[in-house]
Amino acid sequence: MSKIKVAIVGASGYTGLELIKLLLLHPHFELSYVGTSEGGGRLGDLHASLLGVADMEVLKSDPKEIAKHCKLAFLALPHKTAMEFAKALLSLNVKVVDLSADYRLSLESYEKHYGAHLDKEHLKEAVYGLSEINREKIKKASLVANPGCYPTASILATIPFARFIKKNTPIFIDAKSGVSGRGKKVSESEHFVNINENFLSYNALKHRHEPEISEILNTQNISNGIFFAPHLLPITRGMLVSVFFQVEGKIDALQTLKDFYKNAPFVRVRDEAVSLKLTVGTNFCDIYATQKDDVVFVSSSIDNLLRGASSQALLNANLMFGFDEDAGIPKIAYVP
């Protein structure tokens, strides 16, 4: 069977690199087009680690050129830029998995947090690409909005408890991410000396992933207020999220997780506290829960660049093209 040709638009960043790495090994997709905003050079120039591994040309991203051969494009672009490409590609019958925030929120919420939306038409039909809740919709989608990293870990930790969470009480999410989550931008905040041996919160209760979490939980019958405080870990990759909430009635929190995810191929419920490092390099979300009185504490961990971005995007692409959900999806952690 010949492979399906796909494109990456925005190949210079970390999620772009992860997509390249995954697609070079994929059994059914063929990486056929690598685009950046400027184009130029070859893969080994763009990402020094790929020298001697793959030698494709890097092109200036052009929807028409993509549409000539590719049936799908992954957009690893800043928001706003993403929707321009999505609009153009969809009109040329190229399916899109968008890793930006552009199609994740309702119009109202999007415009409140990100400004004017320029592709309202497709926004309506976009499917939120979390297979654990939208598997069947993703299979039929032309446009998948790939979830944010924090929302992925936070939503997976919370939805198993939808029936139990006490109404009208807040859900607190204390999240911690490695630095690669900030992308490659170079500023004082990412200077090694300012991160190494340091730890801090940022945008507490004001982060743009908060409405994403809140809206998606709403679709899963969790309408509680979401209070989200992200922190920056002095590590390169990985994310660990703590969720605290009150429940009504008697539950066994850990068993609730196990029951909910018993058929989920990429959620591992652990009997002991999850360890971020065990998920780095994979598409797994590891989850653990414990409880005291009426309070439940859930801890979930993902690789922010894979399950929080690129491997989840690829899994969505698998579903969109009828491939096995786990085809080419990484399961083996980098550990040690």
Give catalytic residues, as residue numbers: 149
Part of the chain binding its own copies (CB under 8 A), chosen from 21-29, 72-80, 81-89, 114-122? 21-29
Q: Which span (30-38, 44-52, 136-144, 153-161) binds its own copies, by CB under 8 A?
A: 44-52
58: DSSP letter: P
Binding mask 203-222 for its own copies (x = CB under 8 A): -xxx----------------
Give the whole-angstrom CA distance, residue 69 versus residue 82.
20
Of 145 and 233, which has the nearer Cβ to its own copies? 233
Task: Figure out which of the listed residues 4, 6, 7, 14 binds its own copies, where binding follows CB under 8 A.
Answer: 14
Q: How far is the CB of 20 from its own copies (least distance, A)?
A: 9
CB of 335 to its own copies, least distance (A): 4
| Residue 217, both tokens | 């939980």
Position 179 contacts its own copies (CB under 8 A): yes
Q: Please give the residues from 285 up to 324 whose contact with its own copies meets the rule CB under 8 A.
A: 288, 290-293, 295, 297, 299, 305
Going by the DSSP 8-state scheme, the letter that residue 1 receives in this structure is: -
User: Which of 30-38, 91-99, 199-207, 314-322 is the region at the interface with its own copies (rule: CB under 8 A)?
Assistant: 199-207
Length of the chain (residues): 336
Of the pair 71, 237, the CB lying nearest its own copies is at 237
Report angle CA 225, 231, 236 to the nearest 5 degrees.
135
User: Interface with its own copies includes 162 (CB under 8 A)?
Assistant: no
Site for its own copies (CB under 8 A): which residue of 3, 41, 53, 91? 53
Told to check if 237 binds its own copies by CB under 8 A, we report yes
Stretch that binds its own copies, among 136-144, 165-173, 212-220, 313-321 (CB under 8 A): 165-173
Of residues 253, 270, 267, 294, the one with CA closest to residue 155: 267
Q: Using CB under 8 A, which of 37, 57, 120, 196 touches its own copies?
A: 196
Classify 221 in phi/psi space as left (phi over 0), alpha (psi -120 to 50) or beta: left
Closest CB 315 distance from its own copies, rounded Å: 15
Closest CA to 319 of 138, 144, 142: 138
Q: Residue 184 Cβ, how far from its own copies at the closest point, in Å?
A: 7
> Which is it for strands 295-302 and 239-246: parallel, antiparallel or unpaired?
antiparallel
- Residue 309 has which token pair? 């971005």
At closest approach, how far in Å is the CB of 83 from its own copies? 26
Beta bridge partners of 306: none
Q: Dihedral through CA 329, CA 162, CA 151, CA 122, nearest 10?
A: 90
**First-to-last C-alpha distance (Å) of the chain:** 37
Cβ 309 vs Cβ 315: under 8 Å: no
Residue 283 is which amino acid?
Answer: N
Output the CA torsion sign for 35, 139, 127, 311: negative
| Cβ atoms of 329 and 314 closer than 8 Å | yes
Nearest-approach distance from CB 299 to its own copies, in angstroms:
5
The answer to whether residue 47 forms part of the interface with its own copies (CB under 8 A) is yes
* Contact between 334 and its own copies per CB under 8 A: yes
At 329, list the tokens: 């999806």
Among 93, 116, 121, 192, binds its own copies (CB under 8 A): 192
CB 231 → its own copies: shortest distance, Å? 7
Q: How far apart are CA 297 and CA 321, in angstroms?
A: 37
The verdict on 240 binding its own copies (CB under 8 A) reads yes
Binding to its own copies (CB under 8 A): which residues in 63-122?
A: none
Element (H, E) at 38: none
Q: Which residues, numbered 250-289, are part of the site for its own copies (CB under 8 A)?
A: 268, 270, 273-278, 280-281, 284, 288
